Each structure stands twice: as structure tokens, then as C-alpha cells.
Amino acid sequence: MSNTVLTETVFSTFDTVKYEGPSSEKALAYRWYDANRIVMGKPLKEHLRFAVAYWHSLAMQGGDPFGSSTIPRPWFEAGDPMAQAKVKADAAFELFRVLDLPFFCWHDADIAPAGDTLAATLKNFHTMVDYVEEKMRNYPTKLLWGTANMFSHPRFMAGASTNPDPEVFAWCAATVKNCMDATQRLGGSNYVLWGGREGYETLLNTNMKQELQQMGRFLTLVVDYKHKIGFKGQILVEPKPKEPTAHQYDFDVATVYSFLKQFGLEKEVRVNIEANHALLAGHTFEHEIATATALGFLGSLDINRGDALLGWDTDQFPNDLWSMTMSMYHVIKGGGLTQGGCNFDAKVRRQSFTPEDLIHAHIGGADLCARAFLTAAKLIEDGRYDKILADRYAGWKKPEAAAILEGKYSLDEIAALALKNNIDPKPRSGKQEQIENFLAREIYSDKF
């Protein structure tokens, strides 16, 4: 079977999905994601910058710890591994065309097969980068980010940059150098590092201090190399608290920030926040976004969800309108995603094995995020919610309180002032239910 036939069988028969509005009866249409709608001065697509994840959409076949693949992906039967990779790329760009989303993301291992040696692996990779570059000339899809898979192969079982074996560290250096080169060549907006096995199973065999030093050195090398090659994208670290290791070093946004501070990298590196990783860390997605914006290092988002009843990384397409609206609210308040985007790091369930299931999944995710963004923008433009918050902190605008924050008083001076003013703080309502009712009316309103 020729490559073209294989690709056509999968996605080419589908029309490009269009925006048809909330009253559309058509299943494969966007109801909320009106890509060109101007919101807060620019098209919705430029705020959200949706990306399709190559791994979950093209490489994942539905295997789980209890069963094998359920999702047929014909490119895996297209001959030798390089032939398979090319057919997979053909199918990928056809999927991007169908979804009409502006970006995609990859790991090196998603786009090219490993060879027998480091040199052979890099050769395959660059051959496929050439191939993808050619595809990008013929399709409008751009690269949101590239990354390296340094967690699947057995050589990474004890970590990547944190491995006790310096040869693994060197392997990772070679891999990331080449992945950064490729990301730059393909015009990527970001380069992501998720520490898949940067953590440990047991402290009994682990020198944590040593491993953190290695990880700090590695990230410093990455930042140095970014400047050396003049890469204009953002370097992003993706926090995750557990899975695959029991204790991941990049636990959550706050942990990543303190790690960056330790190595003087807090102005160089930002975070790629994944919704379900937030949940696994005992936070909400909006908490992690608000933490990153408070610390000034929000980079990009991986838009998926977990299952509160399961507690592992289910990577499902998002469907929680409340949480997504408040997440988008904090994104906008924090200055937006700029070079980042919303990557669907999400996969269909193993029973959803048809190509059409993959299209439904992305439509639902894009519509949810778009609706959430529209409501968040409306909330901000309306101003009533912001006023409730501003009123709550209004006391800090008074000159004496503002001077405290500016560091103009010492502790004993504040104590003397408190006595002089005979202060007598009165409890005030936090208005939680009132705010919840107000937001519910906005979030579930059908007026757009």
C-alpha cells in the first residue's frame, strides 16, 4: 500500500472542521471556537494558540498496564521504521488540516525512530526533521514546542540528567542539543523539558543533593545553549509531582520556581503547566496558573484533565467549564500566553479507536477552552468581579498601609503606629457564596 493511500484512509476523507456557532446541529463543527473572532483586540486563535500533540494523537495506540493496543494506526504497518515515520507525518499534517488548529508539538521519539547508536538515532531524527520541515511548507501548521523523550528508553530508567551514570547525562546533552537545533529550525516558539524520570523511587539508593546539582547544571547548559544559537523561543520546565517516579523533583510550579532561583535561572526559564499535573499535586489548574503569574513566569499550558476518582495521569480532553474559565481568567490577568499556547496533551480513551473519535475529542477541547476564554474576557471587561476583589484589598491602598508594603516602616514602628491609631480590625464577609453565584450566572449564561 502506498503512503498516500494509507494517509487518505485515515484523515483525508474528513472536511476541515468549521466554526458554525452554538446552534449548529453538525457534530463535526466548532460551536465556540470562532478562531477569527476579535476578543480583547486580537483574534481568539492568537490568544489560545491551540496545538495538537503528536504523541497522543499519532503515536498512542491505547495500550494500558492491563491490555495491549486497541487503536489501529495504519502508519505502524507502513514498512520499515523510517517509512512508518513518514506515513505518520503525512497523516499528522492531514489531521492538523482537518482540525484547523494552528500549532503542533513533538518529542523527538514521536517523529523519528531510534537507531542502534546515538549517531544513528540523530541521523534518523534529522532526516525526519527535514521531512517535517517540507510538510510545514505545504501546510499552515506551526510548531508550538519541541521536546526530547528522555524517559521511555531503558537507559533512562534511573533518570535523564539526574542519572547516577554521567554517560546518560552526556546522551541527554546530545539529544537536547539536537532537539533544540531542530526546534529552532522549524520555527518553534518554545522548547520544553519535562523531567519524566527526574526523581526517585526510593531514597535508599538516591543521593538527592547530587541529583539536584546535576539537574541544575543541565538546565544551565540548556539556557547557555539557547543564547549561543540565538534561539528566540522560551525554555519551559513542566512540573509534575509523581508518575512515573514516586517523587518527581519538579513537583509543582512553586517547587520549580525555588529550583530556578537556586540556580539563578528564574528570569530564563518559564513553566509549561499541565492541568492534570496540577491535580496530581493536590492543586487546581487555576492555582498553578495563578502561582506562575504571581511569580512572573507563566509560559504555556497543557490542556487536559485527570479523573478525580483515579489519581493517575489519565490525560483526558478537558470538559470542566468552571475550572477552565477561572484558569483562563488568571491567564488573561497574568498578561496572556504570549509565546506559549494551549497544547492538547490529551488522548482519546482506548475504546475510542476510530479516527473520528480523535476529531470529536479536539473539537470538544477547543470549544470548551474557547467558551472559557470568552467568558473570562467578558468577566474582565465587565469589571464587577475585579471590583469585588479590589474592594476586599482596598485598605492596602491607604497611604500608611501602602508605605508598609513599600518597606518604609520597621516592625517596631508598625507596632507603635498600631497603638497610636488604637486599631480595632472588624471581621468582614469573604462573600464566597455571593461570588460563586455571580460567577455561575456568567459561566453558564447562554449570552455571547
Does residue 345 interact with Ca ion by CB under 5 A?
yes
String of DSSP letters for 82-133: HHHHHHHHHHHHHHHHHHT-SEEEEEHHHHS---SSHHHHHHHHHHHHHHHH
Amino acid at the residue 162: T
Rg (CA), the chain: 24
d(CA 293, CA 327): 11
Binding residue for Ca ion, selected from 289, 302, 331, 334, defined by CB under 5 A? 302
Identify any residues that bridge with 269 across adjacent strands, giving them in sequence order.
235
Q: How far is the CB of 146 from ligand XLS (least distance, A)?
A: 10
107 is catalytic: yes
Q: Looking only at residues 127 through 156 of this chain, which bind ligand XLS when binding is defined by CB under 6 A?
A: 147
Binding residue for ligand XLS, selected from 194, 218, 251, 329, defined by CB under 6 A? 194
**Span of 163-171, 180-188, 343-351, 375-383 interacting with Ca ion by CB under 5 A:** 343-351
Identify any residues that bridge with 192 across adjacent strands, giving them in sequence order.
147, 236
d(CA 151, CA 118): 16
**Torsion angles phi and psi, residue 63, rounded to 5:** -65, 145
Query: Which of these is catalytic: 107, 277, 283, 362?
Result: 107
Identify any residues that bridge with 147 across adjacent strands, giving them in sequence order.
107, 192
Residue placing its CB nearer to Ca ion in the complex, 147 or 178: 147
Does residue 274 interact with Ca ion by CB under 5 A?
yes
Binding residue for ligand XLS, selected from 94, 110, 181, 238, defined by CB under 6 A? 238
Query: Which of these is catalytic: 34, 100, 110, 250?
Result: 110
Does residue 302 interact with ligand XLS by CB under 6 A?
yes
Q: Looking only at residues 313 through 352 of this chain, which bind ligand XLS when binding is defined by CB under 6 A?
A: 313, 345
d(CA 13, CA 8): 6
> How many CA atoms does the CB half-sphere of 427 hold within 13 Å?
3
Identify what 147 binds: Ca ion, ligand XLS, none; CB under 5 to 8 Å per kind: ligand XLS
Does residue 190 interact with ligand XLS by CB under 6 A?
no
Residue placing its CB nearer to ligand XLS in the complex, 101 or 376: 101
Scanning 230-335, the segments in alpha helix (DSSP H) are 253-262, 275-280, 285-295, 321-333
Q: How far is the CB of 233 from ligand XLS (least distance, A)?
A: 15
Q: Looking only at residues 349 through 378 of this chain, which bind ligand XLS when binding is defined by CB under 6 A?
A: none
The residue ranges that bind Ca ion (CB under 5 A) are 274, 302, 313, 315, 345
The residue ranges that bind ligand XLS (CB under 6 A) are 107, 147, 192, 194, 238, 240, 274, 302, 313, 345
> Which residues does the annotation mark as catalytic?
107, 110
